[in-house]
Amino acid sequence: MRVLLIIAACLVTALGASGDAYAQAGYDRPGGDLRSFSVKSADPAACAAACERDGKCRAWSFSYPLTAGTGAVCWLKGSVTPPAQNNCCISGVRGAAVAEPRNEAAEFAIDRQGGDYKELGVATDASGHSCKAACEADSKCRAWTYSRPGYLGAGARCFLKHEIKPPRRKPCCISGVVR
């Protein structure tokens, strides 16, 4: 029995060290709270790093700003609670890297600042799909940036662009190029 426990511990360590564990965008981990604090940078990576530094932390949830007046909040967890789907958050377990979802249609945590010709209010959307659809429907639009609620105002914003600007890492945004 002791040999099996040692083997299991080695496997867990190897899997955690491989970098294959990632945070889950669009999920919260309710319960098990040790403490919470505001994150001035509004970057979920700061929350994951705080969990790594706290010996009691087993998991974490990062809540994006809900409105322009409220900031982002990090919740450190003393236990690994089950994830619950919620667009407010990104969460993970200790050792999980913050990796935004990757696909060819959208650039997560990327802002393409400038080149705007139209700004729209859109529904809150974890994928930025509503903003991408607005850009695809407009022949003048070459690129788009979706700003999550709380970064530039209470609601989500969509910026349609007539120029393709360079990508810049910013947790506020999801961007893409269509033409």
Instruction: Give the domain CATH number at 46.
Output: 3.50.4.10
Give residue 59's pLDDT. Answer: 95
Please give the Cα distance from 172 to 71 (Å, whole number): 12
Residue 95 Cα to chain centre, angstroms: 16
Give residue 102's pLDDT. Answer: 57
Asked if residue 115 and residue 81 are part of one domain, the reply reads: no
Query: Tens of pLDDT along 25-71?
Result: 888 999 999 999 999 888 888 999 999 999 999 999 999 887 656 78
Q: Does position 172 have pLDDT exceeding 70, yes or no?
A: yes
Please give the Cα distance from 153 to 131 (Å, whole number): 16
Q: Of 93, 120, 146, at which residue does a domain stop?
A: 93
Asked if residue 107 and residue 172 are part of one domain, the reply reads: yes
CB 38 within 8 A of CB 71: yes
Residue 124 Cα to chain centre, angstroms: 14
Residue type at position 7: I
Asked if residue 49 and residue 112 are part of one domain, the reply reads: no
Q: Does position 14 have pLDDT exceeding 50, yes or no?
A: no
Asked if residue 85 and residue 26 are part of one domain, the reply reads: yes
Q: Is the pTM of this model over 0.85?
A: no
- DSSP letter for 17, please: H
Give the total number of structural domains in the chain. 2
Residue 25 lies in domain: 21-93
Tell me which residue has tokens 């505001």: 38
Asked if residue 118 and residue 63 are part of one domain, the reply reads: no
H-helix or E-strand spanning residue 51: helix 44-53
Give residue 16's pLDDT. Answer: 37
Name the 3-class secondary structure at 115.
Answer: coil
Asked if residue 116 and residue 151 are part of one domain, the reply reads: yes
Please give the Cα distance from 70 to 121 (Å, whole number): 19
Q: Is residue 58 part of a domain?
A: yes
Query: Tens of pLDDT along 81-133?
Result: 999 998 888 899 998 767 655 556 788 889 999 999 999 999 888 889 999 99
Q: Is residue 40 part of a domain?
A: yes
Asked if residue 89 and residue 34 are part of one domain, the reply reads: yes
Asked if residue 69 and residue 119 are part of one domain, the reply reads: no
Give residue 23's pLDDT. Answer: 81
Asked if residue 165 and residue 114 are part of one domain, the reply reads: yes
Give residue 87's pLDDT. Answer: 80
